[in-house]
Amino acid sequence: MTAKPAPSRRISSDHAWDRPRHITDGGHFSVLLDEAVAALAPKAGGAYLDGTFGGGGHSRALLALQPPIGDLWAVDADPDAIARAEELSCEPVGMGRLHPVHGNFGDLARLAKDRGIPPLDGILLDLGVSSFQLDEGDRGFSFRFDAPLDMRFDPTSGIPAADIVNGWDEADLANAIWRYGDERQSRAIARAIVAARLDAPIVSTGQLAAIVSDAVGGRRGRPTHPATKTFQALRIAVNEELDVLPRVLAAALDLLAPGGRLAVIAFHSLEDRVVKQFVDLEATGCICPPEQPVCTCGHTPRLRKIGKPVKPSDSELAQNARSRSAILRVAERLPDANPIEHSLHATDILGDAA
């Protein structure tokens, strides 16, 4: 079980908090809301960072706590999410305390330096795509809408999914769909994509969903649309989600004050594996080979695991099917063993990619 806030803490009933606590202003559900807020063990006047603002549900919950926390920085690559954060910063609950930061959380170290963010008492990372992005038909994240094949978290930078679909060779497409989507029929799908683009460029979500569906023989009793895993894989490739994750975890650890909490919500096994390996390594002392008689690595633990991984309750699953794969891991920053900067960090072991 994750740590609970002090008994005196409560959610304020001011403004939007008369409605169910897990629902954001746009009617979207914030996954593991109560659990994530409790995991951070918020304290009065503490400094916090929401590294994936999205719909703002987690940030709003933190800002509404009584007694109140201090400053909260809200980071997101999506300009639409930052616009929502700006709106929240003008409401009484966020005024003077919520600080929106537009940028990719993979650049967290630079963003924190540029903004002068102090050592933090807690950092929350809610990985993957937000419900807002899935439900905004023109962003290209979902096959439920026929839209341009984009999928970028930040539409102002990077390459859209259409460039990958129309530009990568068959082997690279198959490997990405297999690695990031765990799609068993990745080769057949890649082959179908390459054949289809010979006739005309694939520029819309509707085109791609139809190609994938035909390639795997339609739905045929599948619980989800046959293009689900392919769309997930392309989104991860477009936004380089697994490439930046080890970097943001390392930056988050460096930003935490001793006793500060890191809470990470993952939605599929690949990203959760990266989080688990990072926490395991940073919670470990010597990492020399077992056969080596004397430690020479100099590695000391910088994190302490807090509780077991947390999954959505049955009641949350009943209210929000999108939460079904969510898993929350929590760790606490330990004091440094010495003031000298550690020479070995998790990114040295895990690399820059999963």
Does the pLDDT at position 227 exceed 80? yes
Token digits of residue 316: 């949350």
Burial of 308 (0-12, 13-18, 19+ CB in 10 A): exposed
What is the spatial distance between Cα 282 and Cα 333, in angstroms, rounded to a whole number?
Answer: 10
CATH class belonging to 10-132+244-350: alpha beta
Say if CB 211 and CB 148 are below 8 A apart.
Answer: no
User: By mean pLDDT, which of 72-76, 171-175, 210-214, 313-317 is the weakest?
Assistant: 313-317
- Fold assignment, 136-241: DNA polymerase; domain 1 (1.10.150)
Q: How many CB atoms lie within 10 A of CB 218?
A: 10
pTM score of the predicted model: 0.85
User: What average pLDDT does the segment 95-116 reach?
Assistant: 97
pLDDT at 84 over 90: yes
pLDDT number for residue 350: 53
pLDDT at 224: 81
Residue 338 has what pLDDT?
A: 57
What is the share, in percent, of the chain residues with pLDDT greater than 70? 86
pLDDT tens-digit map of 167-181: 999 999 999 999 999
Tell me what pLDDT residue 133 has: 81
- Determine the pLDDT at residue 343: 40
How many CB atoms are closer than 10 A to CB 205?
26
Q: Considering only 197-201, 209-213, 221-225, 344-348, which range has the smallest mean pLDDT?
A: 344-348
Looking at the predicted structure, is the pLDDT value of residue 346 above 70? no
User: Boundaries of CATH 1.10.150.170 in the chain?
Assistant: 136-241
- Ranges of CATH 3.40.50.150 domains, the chain: 10-132+244-350
Q: Is the pLDDT of residue 117 over 80?
A: yes
Q: What is the pLDDT of residue 344?
A: 46
pLDDT digits (tens, 9 = 90+) for 233-287: 999 999 999 999 999 999 999 999 999 999 999 998 999 999 999 999 999 988 8
For residues 146-150, average pLDDT: 94
In angstroms, the CA 131 to CA 141 distance is 10
Nearest to 261 by CA among 87, 3, 41: 41
Per-residue pLDDT tens over the stretch 27-82: 467 899 999 999 999 999 999 999 999 999 999 999 999 999 999 999 999 999 99
pLDDT beyond 90 at 130: no
In the structure, what pLDDT confidence band is assigned to residue 230 with cuts at 50, 70 and 90? very high
Q: Which two three-digit tokens encode residue 354? A: 């999963």
